[in-house]
Structure 1
Amino acid sequence: MDVALVERVAQLPRGAWDPSLSWLTRAATHSKLWIGVAGVLALKKGNPRRAAAHGLLAVALASAGVNLLGKRLLPRARPHPESLPLHRFLHPQPTSSSLPSGHSASAAAFATGVGLVSPALGVALAPVAAAVAYSRVHTGAHWPSDVVLGSACGVGAALATRSWWTRAEPTPPHTTTPAPAPALPAGEGLTVLVNPASGPGSSDPSDEIREWLPGASIHVLREDEDASEVSRSLATSPGVRALGVWGGDGTVGAVAGACAAEGLPLAVLAGGTFNHFARDVDSLDAARVAEAVMSGHAIRCDLGRVELQRGSPDSPEESDLVMLNTASVGLYPNLVRRRDHIMRDLPWLPKRGAGALAALRTFALSSPTTVTIDGTRRRIWTLFVGRGRYWPRDLAPLERPVVDDGALDLRGVSARPRLARLRLLTALATGTVERSPVAREWTARSVTLESSGEPLVLAVDGEVMTGVARVELRVEPGALTVYSPQVAKG
């Protein structure tokens, strides 16, 4: 059958398709064609970029399977030069086994892999993949059955990867719950605590705050003052109807605790390095926050509480903290630092990809921690605790679309199962961490952590605390009212 089909191809008249198919088959060598197409698709975020990544993943698997395994197990001579016209015959002819066709496998793998993510793009690429497969017969590089088997291998490789790098769960829309708050014309009745040490610039923004809110009082925090104590004092001062804060998440947390205790609304003027909380309540633009203060636009927000003990059980040192964003035990802070570094160095890389690369390096080089979680002793690499559910649902979450869902978002990575590190690294490489037996994700209103042997190292909103013997983290639903332009946007 192969010989008969090749004879039919040899009888085709000479035409413009001969140089075109010759160029196409050379362009597909070493998957150059598919890498180029993937590069074009990657320029557009969303489905095209994910489709390109999935297509290349399928190509890698198909190429490895065909070239490292298929051609070794199925040695076969390629068509003879006299089988086709000399002007059409590929020169130089490949010397590897003819069966199966690697070009066909890669073409089918890429088109199918792209189609699994974006059917429309897969349909558009199918004729190109078919032309590459046929070009191998037209130029005498393969027998027709080589192409058929190679194409089947490519489709099989793409289908095998359909559960790898699955389509990310879409982030829910940002929603808020309006909360009553007094309108403060010109900022009358608002006292703003300014931490000049916050942020990369370490400057005093008092003049800018007076431009935005000329009626507000301003207290600049001195080096010998504690932000929590000053906030409590300001919250109980006569005539104060709301507190504002200019600073990072640590300073914002101190003022938020005082506001929650006294039932006062909070105005956040982002002045830190990262300002995670300010971003989630849409307070990165201080001028728009000032407008929300003057018009009384506010939203409801949950508050996290952290009660921890340090030292020995006989003489514990207890303290209470406010958690606005996240807490963690284990390797999570290192993972986040590596992810942010990768995102700065490779801005074209998707956030999910940067998180996966950071996680691969972090978990490959680190050691696990032993901790008792709600009474159960566990050996873990990391435990992430978010005040509210974060997205994406992987090991390096980035955003929190709802700030009053009343939940703690917990994500743990266990080091106990057999071959746990290898299984975790495999899951990270294939994007299947969410389904891996070493990872667990759940929500709760509270969680208790206790050290098992060595004291814990706990990070809360970026602040690292050592020597922790026991800690309870809980969420207080709707405990905080925050001025926010989000309400004005509807």
Structure 2
Amino acid sequence: MPKLHRIRRGPGRIADFDRAVLRRISRWPHGNHDAFFRKLSASATKGKLWFAVAGALATVPGKPRRAAVHGLLALGVASAVTNLGFKALLPRTRPLPEHLPVFRFVHPQPTSSSMPSGHSASAVAFTLGVSFVHPAAGALLAPVAAGVAYSRVHTGAHWPSDVVFGSAIGAGAALLTRRWWPARAEQPEQRRSDEALPRIADGAGLAIVVNAKGGSYSPETGEVLRETFPNAHIREAGDDDDVTAVIEEAAALPGTKALGVWGGDGTVGTAAAAAVEHGLPLLVLPGGTLNHFARDAGIATLEDAVAAAAAGSGIRADLGLVTAGRGQDGTDEVREFAMLNTASIGVYPNLVRRRERLQGALGKPLAGLIAGLRTFGAASPTTLLIDGVRHRIWILYLGRGRYYPRDLAPLARPVMDDGVLDIRMVTADEPFARLRLLWGVLTGTAGSSKVTHLREASRISVQALDAPLVLAVDGEPLPGVRSAEFSVGPGHLRVYSPAAGTAGSSMRTTLIRP
């Protein structure tokens, strides 16, 4: 007799086990525990209990929020496998009223197959999914999950073997989703090539350009900088000024020993190119919105910049070089400029903007997930010739230096002079590319998906085959681009940076606010 038939009719070891457990439970006297298990079982119906727990965890950024997402993913898989798969394949009658006291028996009894227990599968899947990310939260939920699983037997909704099988399905679903969210490789420790630079205590020999058009500029900016560097030459570039020309003039001033800049990363990049051309070290004053380069150089505040300049402490950094051609064939107008951080073509700027709008409320991981799903769900690929090879791409991302983590959300650059371009492409060349990509974004495996290509090089060329491109370099968009070449000038830039261990010192210079 087939095993399935034996399970349905009752004979066999599994049926003997089920009836023995129910007989033991039926002997327990009536008490408050009966009402407790009925309510606990009802609270977990259709996942209500676990959605409530996930909602509570999601209010706390970081690990709790990531744990909630992972737990819900595992629950979704377990629920789908149980209700759409095994319940149809393994029809089984639920316990009858004579198997338990009437005061304990659940009313109304579910009508679906008893094998396996969906409540148990969801409880175990959610709890294990949470514990993979946040072990302490998982440990707190474990007794609740066990109580939910037992409640299905206590109330007569399931046979004990249904609960065992359902729990196994939940554990398997959680283990499967664990592979979807692989542990990120640890980024290397920050490494720097120290460089002795001219000491500038009061601003003598320092030429500073302030971009008054954006960033965190306020009317107080020039006043505070003059108080901080009383002997520096300070020039504010207003709406009627060409910032590039003002920076060139400042760098060429007689007696200039260092070039300072206050502004966003685009302005800092222009100043970096001028500093390299004139053989000057660069002092970055964090006056932009995000200050990516300044932070990577160890300058998070104005105090850090002042301390580095006074001590003559600096580092060597690579400088990215971009040559962009516009016009019909890419040769009508050619522009050359510096790249300090990143460049991108395709939908990456839209993804970043969406993520930054959401991450304050949701945290970076969940914000990145939602931003990725929204962006790639509606995006169209662009056809490019990359190093002579034709590709249909959603994203071409270039980092000046290796960024970490090695996926679609690079955040940190621990080394400033590694001499490479970090190249990340998301292509539409593969079959079912959009589905592969959306699945990778949903499961956290986009970095290892077949549509994602990660490599490093010192040079790369790009040519538009259809419409002109919008090239974003350090956050500054350049439309109408037909061709672009990117390369690295290894160690070309000398930049002031606090000595290791001194960033964020106790020195308290007045900060400039927007």
* Deviation at residue 360 of structure 1 after TM alignment: 1.5
* Deviation at residue 460 of structure 1 after TM alignment: 0.9
Q: 2:177 aligns with which of 147, 151, 161?
A: 161
Q: 2:89 aligns with which of 51, 60, 73?
A: 73
Relative distance call for 1:265 and 1:253 in structure 2 (3 A) is same
**Cα separation, 2, equivalents of 1:355 and 1:39:** 18
**Cα separation, 2, equivalents of 1:370 and 1:328:** 14
Relative distance call for 1:260 and 1:487 in structure 2 (3 A) is farther
**Cα separation, 2, equivalents of 1:274 and 1:322:** 18
**Cα separation, 2, equivalents of 1:488 and 1:289:** 14
Gaps of 5+ in 1: none
Spell out the pairing of 1:53-452 with structure 2 (5 A cutoff): 53-117=69-133, 122=138, 125-199=141-215, 203=219, 205-313=221-329, 316-344=332-360, 347=361, 349-452=362-465
**Cα separation, 2, equivalents of 1:343 and 1:486:** 32
Once structures 1 and 2 are overlaid, which stretch shifts more, 280-289 or 365-374? Answer: 280-289
Query: Helix, strand or coil for the counterpart of 1:141?
Result: coil
TM-score of the two chains, using structure 1 as the length reference:
0.92
Q: Which amino acid aligns with 1:131?
A: G
Relative distance call for 1:164 and 1:315 in structure 2 (3 A) is closer
The reply to whether residue 467 of structure 1 matches residue 483 of structure 2 is: no
Would the aligned equivalents of 1:175 and 1:401 in 2 still touch at CA under 8 Å? yes
* Deviation at residue 62 of structure 1 after TM alignment: 0.8
Once structures 1 and 2 are overlaid, which stretch shifts more, 236-245 or 459-468? Answer: 459-468
Cα deviations across residues 431-463 of structure 1 (Å, max 9, x unaligned)? 111111111011111111122243332111122
* Deviation at residue 430 of structure 1 after TM alignment: 1.5
Q: 2:44 aligns with which of 14, 23, 28?
A: 28
**Cα separation, 1, equivalents of 2:404 and 2:370:** 17
Once structures 1 and 2 are overlaid, which stretch shifts more, 245-254 or 273-282? Answer: 273-282
Query: Helix, strand or coil for the counterpart of 2:478?
Result: strand
TM-score of the two chains, using structure 2 as the length reference:
0.88
Would the aligned equivalents of 2:82 and 2:121 in 1 still touch at CA under 8 Å? yes
Would the aligned equivalents of 2:316 and 2:492 in 1 still touch at CA under 8 Å? yes
* Deviation at residue 208 of structure 1 after TM alignment: 0.7
Relative distance call for 1:433 and 1:120 in structure 2 (3 A) is same
Would the aligned equivalents of 2:325 and 2:331 in 1 still touch at CA under 8 Å? no
Q: Which amino acid aligns with 1:214?
A: P
Once structures 1 and 2 are overlaid, which stretch shifts more, 8-17 or 303-312? Answer: 8-17
After the TM superposition, which segments of 4 or more aligned residues of structure 1 sit over 6 Å from their partners?
none
Instruction: Give the alignment's Cα RMSD to 1 decimal.
Output: 2.4
**Cα separation, 2, equivalents of 1:135 and 1:312:** 72
Gaps of 5+ in 2: 1-15, 504-514
Would the aligned equivalents of 1:269 and 1:286 in 2 still touch at CA under 8 Å? yes
Q: Which amino acid aligns with 1:72?
A: A
Cα deviations across residues 106-144 of structure 1 (Å, max 9, x unaligned)? 122123323444556555544432332122111111111
Once structures 1 and 2 are overlaid, which stretch shifts more, 171-180 or 269-278? Answer: 171-180
Relative distance call for 1:445 and 1:20 in structure 2 (3 A) is same
Q: Which amino acid aligns with 1:400?
A: R
The reply to whether residue 456 of structure 1 matches residue 472 of structure 2 is: no
Would the aligned equivalents of 1:281 and 1:486 in 2 still touch at CA under 8 Å? no
* Deviation at residue 60 of structure 1 after TM alignment: 1.2
* Deviation at residue 188 of structure 1 after TM alignment: 1.2
Once structures 1 and 2 are overlaid, which stretch shifts more, 179-188 or 83-92? Answer: 83-92
* Deviation at residue 224 of structure 1 after TM alignment: 4.3
Once structures 1 and 2 are overlaid, which stretch shifts more, 189-198 or 86-95? Answer: 86-95
Would the aligned equivalents of 2:343 and 2:474 in 1 still touch at CA under 8 Å? yes
**Cα separation, 2, equivalents of 1:356 and 1:375:** 32
Would the aligned equivalents of 2:404 and 2:411 in 1 still touch at CA under 8 Å? yes
Query: Helix, strand or coil for the counterpart of 2:75?
Result: helix
Relative distance call for 1:13 and 1:216 in structure 2 (3 A) is same
Q: Which amino acid aligns with 1:373?
A: I
Q: Which amino acid aligns with 2:464?
A: S
**Cα separation, 1, equivalents of 2:359 and 2:136:** 30
Query: Helix, strand or coil for the counterpart of 2:345?
Result: strand
Relative distance call for 1:225 and 1:124 in structure 2 (3 A) is closer
**Cα separation, 2, equivalents of 1:172 and 1:48:** 26
Relative distance call for 1:408 and 1:34 in structure 2 (3 A) is same
Would the aligned equivalents of 1:176 and 1:486 in 2 still touch at CA under 8 Å? no
Query: Helix, strand or coil for the counterpart of 2:105?
Result: coil
* Deviation at residue 331 of structure 1 after TM alignment: 1.2
Query: Helix, strand or coil for the counterpart of 1:157?
Result: helix
Would the aligned equivalents of 2:330 and 2:481 in 1 still touch at CA under 8 Å? no
Once structures 1 and 2 are overlaid, which stretch shifts more, 123-132 or 461-470? Answer: 123-132
Would the aligned equivalents of 1:410 and 1:441 in 2 still touch at CA under 8 Å? yes
Query: Helix, strand or coil for the counterpart of 2:411?
Result: coil
Would the aligned equivalents of 2:359 and 2:366 in 1 still touch at CA under 8 Å? no
Query: Helix, strand or coil for the counterpart of 1:103?
Result: helix
* Deviation at residue 20 of structure 1 after TM alignment: 3.5
* Deviation at residue 165 of structure 1 after TM alignment: 2.0
**Cα separation, 2, equivalents of 1:435 and 1:466:** 31
Relative distance call for 1:441 and 1:453 in structure 2 (3 A) is same
Query: Helix, strand or coil for the counterpart of 2:196?
Result: coil
Relative distance call for 1:358 and 1:49 in structure 2 (3 A) is closer
Query: Helix, strand or coil for the counterpart of 1:339?
Result: helix
Q: Which amino acid aligns with 1:241?
A: K
* Residues matched between the structures, number: 487
Query: Helix, strand or coil for the counterpart of 2:122?
Result: helix
